[in-house]
Amino acid sequence: MHSGEVLYSVNASKPMTPASVLKVLTAEAALIFMGPNYRFSTQVLTDAKSIKNGVLQGNLYILLNGDPTLTYYDLAELLFALKKQQIRAVAGNVYIDNTAYDQRFYGPGWNEDDKGYCYAAPISAGIVDKNCLSFQVAPANTKGSPAKVVRSSKYFYPDIKSTVVTKANTARTCSVHLTNDMGNAIELDGCMPRGRYAWGVSYVITDVPEYNRSLFKDLLRRLSIRVYGKVTFGSAGNQLSLINAHASQPLSLLVLEMLKKSDNVIAGALFKKLGQLYFNQPG
């Protein structure tokens, strides 16, 4: 125990994604160091000193803190505070601060084959909807027609390009294949049999920063808030004014959900948050 000698080893060099038992150690460490009442806070801030004719006279900052339970609806509600303050435009830039965690979204020993599945979604400061999007592909009524992509209002989706074709309802060898390009667009191809049933598809967000940028651009557009500068990335300073904040549930409840559902995204976020707070550097 004190010598460091390895007494037994099996598959020591084989890539593996952390699983259920290790979450117990993560839970204990988080509860001891962060406390059961700790909450992740996602904030909207500004360096502006005034609002003139509905224009925020400065920059807007969106501080992402790695909340593993943050949703698209949470972010929409967060930014809606701008409308409540009658802000119609931002004179400067919108900065997304994702520096709470580093840009290594996967552990160095994780299995590459797992990265296409939602249980091994990337762990970033800008986790939204567990960095996993669900939608359906429904067959057309007639053979040879394109299948229909059915989106959920719960999520913000990048562009979905589908060439999936409807085949006869007797087709037995059909499948749908999913890929993504460098711009985070989702590409679907393949075929599905005609019938009443849609197929469910899950998509893991791979380029998380670009997805975050696209999401905030879209939310600001939906809220009819014009940005005279650009939506980009940058660190929020200390001398900023708070516009709105969203707090997660307390850590005690996050740990409960993590252990009951064996939630890898919550576990990964807590692991990174521990590193950030303990070492005072990006997790």
pLDDT digits (tens, 9 = 90+) for 230-264: 999 999 988 999 999 999 999 999 999 999 999 99
HEC assignment per residue over the chain: CCCCCCCCCCCCCCCCCCCHHHHHHHHHHHHHHCCCCCCCEEEEEECCCCEECCEECCCEEEECCCCCCCCHHHHHHHHHHHHHCCCCEECCCEEEECCCCCCCCCCCCCCHHHHHCHHHCCCCCCCCHHHEEEEEEECCCCCCCECEEECCCCCCCCCEEECCEEECCCCCCCCEEEEECCCCCEEEEEEEECCCCCEEEEEECCCHHHHHHHHHHHHHHHCCCEECCCEEECCCCCCCEEEEEEECCCHHHHHHHHHHHCCHHHHHHHHHHHHHHHHCCCC
Helices 264-279 & 251-261, crossing angle to 10 degrees? 140
Q: Which of 105, 108, 119 is nearest to 212 (CA)?
A: 105
pLDDT value of position 196: 86
pLDDT value of position 169: 83
d(CA 89, CA 68): 30
Give the CA count within 13 Å in the CB-facing half-sphere of 18.
Answer: 20
AA identity, residue 74: D
Q: Which of 166, 175, 163, 165 is nearest to 195 (CA)?
A: 166
Across 176-198, average pLDDT: 85
Across 114-136, average pLDDT: 95
Give the CA count within 13 Å in the CB-facing half-sphere of 96.
Answer: 24
pLDDT of 184 over the 70 cut = no
**Tens-digit pLDDT profile for residues 53-74:** 999 999 999 999 999 999 999 9
Q: Look-up: residue for tokens 């943050």?
A: 70
Q: Residue 72's Cα: distance from chain center in Å?
A: 9
Residue 12 binned pLDDT confidence (cut-offs 50, 70, 90): confident
Across 141-168, average pLDDT: 94
Residue 109 binned pLDDT confidence (cut-offs 50, 70, 90): confident
Across 81-105, average pLDDT: 97
pLDDT of 181 over the 80 cut = no
AA identity, residue 236: A
Is this model's pTM higher than 0.95 or not?
no
- Percent of the chain having pLDDT more than 90? 81
Average model confidence (pLDDT) for the chain? Answer: 94
What contacts 75, CB < 8 A, 6 or more positions away? 42, 128, 215, 216, 219, 246
What contacts 187, CB < 8 A, 6 or more positions away? 161, 162, 178, 179, 180, 181
**Tens-digit pLDDT profile for residues 197-232:** 999 999 999 899 999 999 999 999 999 999 999 999
Across 63-88, average pLDDT: 98
pLDDT value of position 1: 59
User: How many other CB atoms are found less than 10 A from the CB of residue 49?
Assistant: 9
Across 170-195, average pLDDT: 84
In DSSP terms, 134 is beta-bridged to 202
Angle, alpha carbons 276-232-185 (nearest 5°) = 95
Domain ranges for the chain, please list them: 40-128+206-248, 131-204
Domain 40-128+206-248 has CATH 3.50.80.20: yes
pLDDT of 21 over the 90 cut = no
Is there a contact between 118 and 263 (Cβ–Cβ < 8 Å)? no
Residue 115 binned pLDDT confidence (cut-offs 50, 70, 90): confident
